[in-house]
Amino acid sequence: MRYVIFGGSGFVGAELINELSDEQRKQAIVLDVVPPIGDIKYERQDIRKDITFKFNPDDIVIQLAANQYHHKVPRKNRQEFFENVNTKGTENILKKMEADGAKNMVFFSTDMVYGTPQYLPVDTKHPKNPFGYYGKSKMKAEAICQNYRDKGMNITIFRPRMIIGKGRLGILIKLFKLMELNLPVPMIGSGNNCYQMISVNDCAQAILKAIEKGIPNKEYNLGSYNPPKVKDLLKNVAKQNNSKSIIVPTPGKLVKMCLKILGALGLEIMYKEQYMIADENYLIDISETEEDLNWHPRFDDTSMLKAAFDEYKRSK
């Protein structure tokens, strides 16, 4: 049995490789457009094109390759940017797996498929209504996965909250810069809502648990336990880092309207999928993940954000 990791040079992929045992690492191969760091087998594959890799029937395929939001996301053809990798790329992998007789995949989707929460906590049966191209591309990929499940494949789908960990700071850089300079930190809204996160390490552990359980044909949420209110979370992180920044509430609807207008003018400070639910209470239900996979999150939101701040300071 081999572990075939698409996107193994990425954020979650790199952590997964770190979590593999020595024996598992010997049986692993990374397929990506960028070589991974470390001593592991690698073959270049661009999933936007036809897959040339030859699968074995007992391979465990882990699909982590994705286009996500970052500062280089194009304004034009944004839908195509996401769908080429997230949707069509996943379909290309499944098509080649089917041709080669491979049946087992772990696919990383996103909680953004849900859109605005209609009830709490958000379970995996929650209606899917994403409001951005990234979430829509993952929702379409999930539908493709279901088609291949109907053909006899086993596909575990994970829907993680905002993933935090070493190697990815993203939008947090703006937050940490304000704290470092002791400047006021504006929130979107009052900050009385909870905004759940998940550690990259807990994501890697979930993949390994799904493999142990034989790749269940189900969807699973990934998130932390009992996230604090946003204002308390930010206050604690500022205090732990000796920042004199004050946390400032704002009119959430007005701020989101301004961000939308700025985005339309080509001055995107945040992407729509980042700010639309920033002032919403957002808590996903992880009970099914815990019960089925014997998986439990080990990191809380405060420690995750503190570790991210430490990483920010080291990266400078």
183: exposed, middle or buried (C-beta count within 10 Å: 0-12, 13-18, 19+)? Answer: middle
What confidence score (pLDDT) does residue 288 get? Answer: 98
Using alpha carbons only, what angle is made at residue 5 by residues 140 and 205, rounded to the nearest 5 degrees?
A: 90
DSSP string, 27-60: TEEEEESSPPSSS-EEEE--TTS-------TT-E
Mean pLDDT, range 254-277, rounded to an integer? 89
What confidence score (pLDDT) does residue 71 get? Answer: 61
Confidence grade of residue 128 (pLDDT, cut at 50, 70, 90)? very high
pTM for the whole thing? Answer: 0.96
Give per-residue pLDDT as tens, 1-46.
999 999 999 999 999 999 999 999 999 999 999 999 878 999 999 9
264: pLDDT strictly greater than 80: yes
Any idea where the domains of the chain sit in the sequence? 3-311
Mean pLDDT, range 88-105, rounded to an integer? 98
122: pLDDT strictly greater than 80: yes
70: pLDDT strictly greater than 90: no
**Both tokens assigned to 175:** 């937050």
CATH class as words, domain 3-311:
alpha beta
8 Å CB contact between 91 and 105: no
User: 228 preceded by cis ω (within 30°)?
Assistant: no
Convert 74-102 to b/e letters by CB count within 10 Å (16 or more is b): eeeebeebbbbbbbbbbbbbbebbeeeeb
Give per-residue pLDDT as tens, 155-193.
999 999 999 987 778 788 889 999 999 999 999 999 999
What is the Cα–Cα distance from 309 to 172, expressed in whole angstroms? 8
DSSP string, 155-170: EEEEEE-EEEBTTB-T
Distances 50 to 54, 91, 93, 152 between C-alpha atoms, Å: 12, 10, 8, 22
What is the Cα–Cα distance from 266 to 76, expressed in whole angstroms? 11
Of 188, 190, 123, 154, the closest CA to residue 61 belongs to 154
Dihedral over alpha carbons 19, 34, 314, 201 (to 10 degrees): -20
Using alpha carbons only, what angle is made at residue 19 by residues 13 and 22, rounded to the nearest 5 degrees?
A: 115
Give per-residue pLDDT as tens, 195-234.
999 999 999 999 999 999 999 999 999 999 999 999 999 9
Confidence grade of residue 142 (pLDDT, cut at 50, 70, 90)? very high
What confidence score (pLDDT) does residue 73 get? Answer: 79
Q: Which position has the token pair 């990259």?
A: 200
**How big is the chain, counted in residues?**
316
136: pLDDT strictly greater than 90: yes
